[in-house]
Amino acid sequence: MFSLINAALIAGWLVLALTLLLRGGGKKDKAEGYWRQEEERINSRASQAGVSWGSRETKLIWLFSLGVACGLYFLTGNLLLFGAGWLLMLILPSLIIDSRRRQQRLASLTALTDCLRQLLARLPDQGSLSRALEMVLESSGDRESTLIMGQVLDELRLGSSVREAIGLWQNKVGLKKFDHVAETMIQANKDGWTPAALSALDKSVQALEADLRAVLLAAQKSVSKKRQLYTTLLTSWSFPVILSLMNTGQKNIYLHTLAGKILIFAYVAFSLYVVVKGQEYLSLNVEEL
């Protein structure tokens, strides 16, 4: 009987895995429609976050989750742990997308401050935002910043005002901390890039750099706190491992009793919950940058 259950579970998971990998045209059943909706939801979330994401990544995460569920079942014989696979399917894509989002925002802020510093160094000699942008574009190595500044320069060449071009820059960058720099730049252009105007712009760039240092410091502290959280979580798992050595007769209380199986599943679900909430509360809120 036990072998029949194992065989049925393996067959079911293999069919589901093949469905994830090979689904395409033809008549769609409810299961396929569900997976397609989930994939579209994940792709939409990634798109809104500005993160590069493909269907292949979604399928790999789903297959990994299925593999974890199968592995946990064959190690423990606990049918409830198949639920861990479904939880991973729901949780992992969002965790990875949010992590990439944070990394991209920090990288954008770093590249932005470097470009602004180069721009500020060239403005006194060039006396023109468009000419200074041309000089920065020739030396900048960051692809995203180069692309955005190229669009700003194109706007200026097409006859847009400096306010309109810098407004485009603000929209493309999408960082709240850049707004004050942008307004100062607009005022400096209005004043004719005088020494006083350039000094004000330099101070606003310095403020942005100070914010960047504070943000990077907060990110480092966040990594340390996450490490402590995960260490505590792993330590908590030592309790069921140790207590499982206390057998009742010939049975392991965590592997062979219903109460033990439910408790282990609760441990898994709670651990995943702690990871998600830990990421939420300890990670930098990139939307505030």
Contact between residue 108 and residue 175 where contact means Cβ atoms under 8 Å apart: yes
**What pLDDT digit, counting tens, does each position of 247-263 carry?**
556 666 666 667 677 77
Most confident option among 12-26, 111-125, 139-153, 226-240: 111-125
Query: What's the pLDDT tens digit per position in 43-69?
Result: 888 888 778 888 888 888 888 888 888
Whole-number pLDDT of residue 170: 87
User: CA 85 to CA 176: how far, in whole Å?
Assistant: 38
What's the chain's average pLDDT?
78
Specify the 3-state DSSP secondary structure of 142.
Answer: coil
Q: Which of helix, strand or coil describes residue 193?
A: coil
* Element (DSSP H or E) covering residue 215: helix 195-236
Domain ranges of the chain: 105-210
How do residues 98-120 score in pLDDT, each as one tens digit? 888 888 888 888 888 888 898 88
Separation of alpha carbons 67 and 29, rounded Å: 24
Among the listed residues 282, 279, 289, the one whose alpha carbon sits nearest the alpha carbon of residue 104:
289
Provide the residue type at 34 as one letter: Y
**258-282 helix and 195-236 helix, angle to the nearest 10 degrees:** 170
Are residues 177 and 208 in contact, defined by beta-carbon separation less than 8 angstroms? yes
Per-residue pLDDT tens for 60-95?
Answer: 888 888 888 878 777 777 777 777 777 888 888 888
Q: Please give the pLDDT value at position 7.
A: 56
Return the axis-axis angle of helices 30-49 and 55-76, rounded to nearest 10°.
120
Confidence of residue 288 (pLDDT cuts 50, 70, 90): low
One-letter-per-residue 3-state SS of 27-89: CCCHHHHHHHHHHHHHHHHHHHHCCCCCHHHHHHHHHHHHHHHHHHHHHHCCHHHHHHHHHHH
Predicted pLDDT at 15: 61
This prediction has a pTM of 0.69
Could you tell me the pLDDT band of residue 13, with boundaries at 50, 70 and 90? low
Query: What single DSSP character describes residue 252?
Result: -
Query: Quick check: 241 pLDDT over 50?
Result: yes
Q: Which of 186-190, 210-214, 236-240 has the highest mean pLDDT?
A: 186-190
